[in-house]
Homo-oligomer: A and B are copies of this chain.
Amino acid sequence: MPPILAFLSDFGLGDYYVGAMKGVALTICPEASLVDIVHEIPPHDIEAGALALAAAYRAFPGGTVFVAVVDPGVGSARRPLGVDLDGYRFVGPDNGIFTFVLRRGGVARVREITATHLLRPDVSPVFHGRDVFSPVAAHLAAGMAFEELGPSVADPVLLPFAGSRRLPDGTLEGRVIHLDRFGNLVTSISGAELTAMLEASAASAGDVVAEIGGARVALARTYSDVADEEGLALVASSGFVEVAVNGGSAARRLGAKKGSRVQLRLVRPRGPSSGVGEEPW
Which candidate, A13-21, A104-112, A209-217, is the interface stretch facing chain B? A13-21
The answer to the question of A276 belonging to the interface, with a C-beta cut-off of 8 Å to chain B, is no
| Bound: A238/B20 CA distance, A | 10
The answer on a CB contact under 8 Å between A126 and B31 is no
Residues of B within 8 A of A60 (CB): 23, 26-27
* Identical copies in the complex: 3
Partner of A22 from B35, B40, B126 at Cβ < 8 Å:
B35
The answer on a CB contact under 8 Å between B237 and A130 is yes
Interface string of A174-193 (1 = CB under 8 A from B): 00001011100000000000
The answer on a CB contact under 8 Å between A27 and B61 is yes
Residues of B within 8 A of A43 (CB): 181-182
Residues of B within 8 A of A258 (CB): none
The answer to the question of A241 belonging to the interface, with a C-beta cut-off of 8 Å to chain B, is no
Residues of B within 8 A of A38 (CB): 13-16, 18-19
Interface string of A100-123 (1 = CB under 8 A from B): 000000000000000000000000
Which candidate, A159-167, A195-203, A221-229, A262-270, is the interface stretch facing chain B? A221-229
Residues of B within 8 A of A127 (CB): 236-237
Of the A-B pairs whose beta carbons lie under 8 Å apart in the complex, a sample of 30, sorted by A's number, is A1-B31, A4-B26, A8-B16, A11-B181, A12-B40, A13-B39, A13-B40, A14-B40, A14-B180, A15-B178, A15-B181, A19-B36, A19-B37, A19-B38, A22-B35, A23-B56, A23-B61, A27-B59, A30-B61, A43-B181, A43-B182, A72-B247, A75-B222, A124-B236, A125-B221, A126-B223, A126-B234, A126-B237, A127-B236, A130-B237
